[in-house]
A and B are shown apart, each in its own frame.
Chain A
Amino acid sequence: MRFTANKNKILKLNGGFIFVIVIFFALFLRTYKLDIRPMHTDEAVHAIKFGELLEKGTYTYDPIEYHGPTLNYFTLISAYLSGEDNLQNISEVTLRLVPAIISLLLIASLLLLYTKNNIWLILLTASLITISPVFQFYSRYYIQEVLLVTFSYTSIFTFYRYFLTKKILWLILSGMLVGLTFATKETSIITFFAVFTSLFYFYIISKDFREKIKTPKFLIILSALTAASIAILFYSSFFQNPRGISDSVLTYFNYFNKAGNNIAHKQPWYYYINLILFSKTDLIFYSGIPVFIFTIIGFYFAFTDKREIENIYFFKFIAIFSITQAMVYSFISYKTPWLILNFWIGFLILAAFGIFQLFAMLNNKFLKTILSVFIVLVFVYNIYQLYLTSFKYPYQPENPFTYYQPTPDIILLSNKIISIAEANSDSNNILINVIVNNNDYWPLPWYLRMIRNVAWNNHVPNNIYKFPIIIASPNFEDEIINKLYSIPPPGKKNLYVPLSQKYFSLRPNIEIRGYVQKKYYDFYLRSFENNNL
């Protein structure tokens, strides 16, 4: 008896120690070379939006774009810790640290599921989430999705903790996380729908569940009030913008419309299945099938196994929660790859559960060895794919997780523009005009944030000749040249040269060109020479 007790203690200690290692490994993966990938359009948009909060101290919720305010407010912490107090100083690393660190919270929060004998299941789940290539990739992405996923899953974990312990603290914490979920992104409505679908299922089919979930009304109200308070706090910009509260509801008119009518992001219903299960390009062969096999096994054990399985409600709940989200997101024609995280995390939890149950079911040592070898191979394969997608080919269009991702061209172009501007004696006031179809010039505003006077256009203005530097889509070139040389009087028509003879792309296959007044180009050449003397 004594030996068994000691053995359990040792196992728990080892499990705890390994869990810490997993967290540190995740920390390394999430934060290593965070600036390896150029800023995506969405990241740049959020970064510039955050700049207003950082510099002016104001945030106004916009019900049309940008999503909820939590990303911006949490970035304040990151900026404060990095000692960066204006947009020009902010780095990609500071911004991306926010989703990266919050993604670790999701992994760490798995400990909330800890009961007596499930430390190895928690470890397995934590490991699978840590090495998930898709979760890793978007944990280094300055958008709301990882925050949404973390807050929604941790709110479930904390609620489950309350379910196990009946301690009010967990219920209040769960309420707070629900509030954060709502304050993160409008698509949280899908999360809530999936939660209620899952709860409804149990309420209908399980008397035992109905008994266990019984919660005093005042606690439910307390939890709901906590959630509402957190959401109000964020949407009202901490009471600076009360209109944000009503806008957080009115926004759904916009998003329901966007979900069905946005042609640019329209994808078939099987888009997420394709994305996660099989993708082969010249550079990467990606497949989530090995993990997904265990997810199916997890589903099987969750719903068909007759044995008394610890935490079975939790896994059943996660199964319905995930599959509901998968169905809703697949049904909506507006699709972006990071949305997959909302249900893929649930699938990973079920995969770990499937593996664990499979081990428990197998009596044969040989079969257990075979399964162990297979699992090790799955882990190695996932880590290798994580390496390919996050570190080796982080911006290449062949990477299945990149989505209209700008290439390092954008950095080269921006650096050249900045160098030309800086070579001028009045570099702070140099005028730049950026002209791109449909105002689709992002992420350039992020990369040119150092320059004060940039005009952003979707047409060629008549005063274009007043701008020493012009950046434009190729289709505007004729009109630009025409206006440069026809509008000013003789003697005032400045000669322009291309910014570079190199092909620059804003995003793959979307060319962008630059033109600079010869005088300014000469200044640049001289500064270049002086720097190299």
Chain B
Amino acid sequence: MLRNKNILFLLSFSILLIFSQNIFAQDLVPIKIDLPKAMFVGTPTNMSIEKLEKPLGKPRPPFLAPKGTKNVALGKTVFSTDDMPIIGEIEFITDGDKDADEGYFVELGPFTQHITIDLEKEYNLYAILVWHYHKQARVYFDVIVQVADDKDFTKNVRTLFNNDLDNSSGQGKGTDWHYVETSEGKLIDAKGEKARYVRLYSKGNNSNDLNHYIEVAVYGK
């Protein structure tokens, strides 16, 4: 049943993709992203988190990118430190589906975990959009986004985002702020870096110690 549903979504997404690529081939800048519906459920808990950006409460503006920019992570292979997810499949991260419902996210184990996306070739990267989990107003800790030239992240590692304020994940002390997950996703400036591999860290959230990913979109050309 779940498989059929996935096929259906893949088909729909493919149609959307073809359609969106056609648009990109024209003049669609700034880039607009199809966003899932907001899905905050339940009573929100108090958040006393250091350096916290609160949700804007209205749609974030799209970002500007050169013509031809697209989600180059779509359908690409993802590796994870937790290769036996508690819920979902690692492939969900790049399947293009950003809904927060059951069956769309992958749940990784506790403590610091990371995922690595192999873009299969080098791209000029302009933006990365991350959805961890937006069914609740959650804040994920130690969100670190890096790009590198090799899968093991030993060559030319560049950090694009880091809110690990106490360096508890060992990737250096970050200066970026924590943020509340929303259906908008978190937009990260990729500074036009040229890279093949994208890695994202996290270390639990304010609700539990687990790590979740709904989708990661990497915009480049």
Question: Is there a chain A Cβ closer than 8 Å to B63's Cβ?
Answer: yes
Q: Could you tell me the distance in whole angstroms from the C-beta of A469 to the nearest C-beta in chain B? A: 13
Question: Is there a chain B Cβ closer than 8 Å to A494's Cβ?
Answer: yes
Residues of A within 8 A of B209 (CB): none
Q: In whole angstroms, how far apart are the Cα atoms of A488 and B194 in the complex?
A: 13
> Mind listing 24 A-B residue pairs with CB under 8 Å?
A478-B29, A481-B65, A481-B66, A481-B67, A482-B66, A486-B66, A490-B191, A490-B194, A493-B126, A494-B189, A495-B64, A495-B65, A495-B126, A496-B63, A496-B64, A497-B30, A497-B60, A497-B62, A497-B64, A498-B30, A498-B61, A498-B64, A501-B61, A521-B61
B66 touches A492 (CB 8 A): no
A485-B192, A525-B56 known; A490 vs B63 contact (CB < 8 Å): no
Residues of A within 8 A of B192 (CB): 485, 488-493
Contact with A along B183-221 (1 / 0, CB 8 A): 000010111111000000000000000000000000000
Question: Is there a chain B Cβ closer than 8 Å to A398's Cβ?
Answer: no
Residues of B within 8 A of A501 (CB): 59, 61-62
By DSSP majority rule, is chain B's interface helix, strand, loop, or mixed? loop
Question: Is there a chain B Cβ closer than 8 Å to A243's Cβ?
Answer: no
Question: Is there a chain B Cβ closer than 8 Å to A166's Cβ?
Answer: no
Question: Is there a chain A Cβ closer than 8 Å to B54's Cβ?
Answer: yes
7 tightest A-B CB contacts, nearest first: A493-B192, A495-B189, A498-B61, A496-B64, A485-B66, A490-B194, A497-B61
B65 touches A485 (CB 8 A): yes
Question: Is there a chain B Cβ closer than 8 Å to A500's Cβ?
Answer: yes
B189 touches A519 (CB 8 A): yes
Q: In whole angstroms, how far apart are the Cα atoms of A499 and B61 in the complex?
A: 8
| Residues of A454-497 contacting chain B, CB below 8 A | 477-478, 481-482, 484-486, 488-497
B65 touches A491 (CB 8 A): no
Question: Is there a chain B Cβ closer than 8 Å to A522's Cβ?
Answer: yes
Q: Could you tell me the distance in whole angstroms from the C-beta of A488 to the nearest C-beta in chain B? A: 7
Q: Could you tell me the distance in whole angstroms from the C-beta of A367 to the nearest C-beta in chain B? A: 66
Give me the interface of B with A, judged by CB distance under 8 Å. Answer: 27, 29-30, 53-54, 56, 59-67, 124, 126-127, 158, 177, 187, 189-194
Q: In whole angstroms, how far apart are the Cα atoms of A501 and B193 in the complex?
A: 27
Residue of B nearest to A486 (CB): B66
A478-B27, A522-B53, A529-B54 known; A495 vs B193 contact (CB < 8 Å): no
Residues of B within 8 A of A519 (CB): 189
Residue of B nearest to A484 (CB): B64
Residue of B nearest to A530 (CB): B54
Question: Is there a chain B Cβ closer than 8 Å to A526's Cβ?
Answer: yes
Question: Is there a chain B Cβ closer than 8 Å to A368's Cβ?
Answer: no
Residues of B within 8 A of A493 (CB): 124, 126, 191-192
B29 touches A495 (CB 8 A): no
Question: Is there a chain B Cβ closer than 8 Å to A515's Cβ?
Answer: yes
Residues of B within 8 A of A478 (CB): 27, 29, 67
Residues of B within 8 A of A482 (CB): 66
A495-B127, A495-B191 known; A515 vs B64 contact (CB < 8 Å): yes
Q: In whole angstroms, how far apart are the Cα atoms of A338 and B29 in the complex?
A: 42
Residues of B within 8 A of A498 (CB): 30, 61-62, 64
A497-B30, A498-B30 known; A490 vs B193 contact (CB < 8 Å): yes
Apart from A489-B192, A495-B64, what are 14 other A-B pairs with CB-CB below 8 Å? A478-B29, A481-B66, A481-B67, A485-B124, A485-B192, A491-B192, A492-B192, A493-B126, A495-B126, A496-B63, A498-B64, A522-B177, A526-B53, A529-B54
Residues of A within 8 A of B64 (CB): 481, 484, 495-498, 515
Q: Could you tell me the distance in whole angstroms from the C-beta of B87 to the nearest C-beta in chain A? A: 31
Q: Could you tell me the distance in whole angstroms from the C-beta of A481 to the nearest C-beta in chain B? A: 5
Question: Is there a chain B Cβ closer than 8 Å to A518's Cβ?
Answer: yes
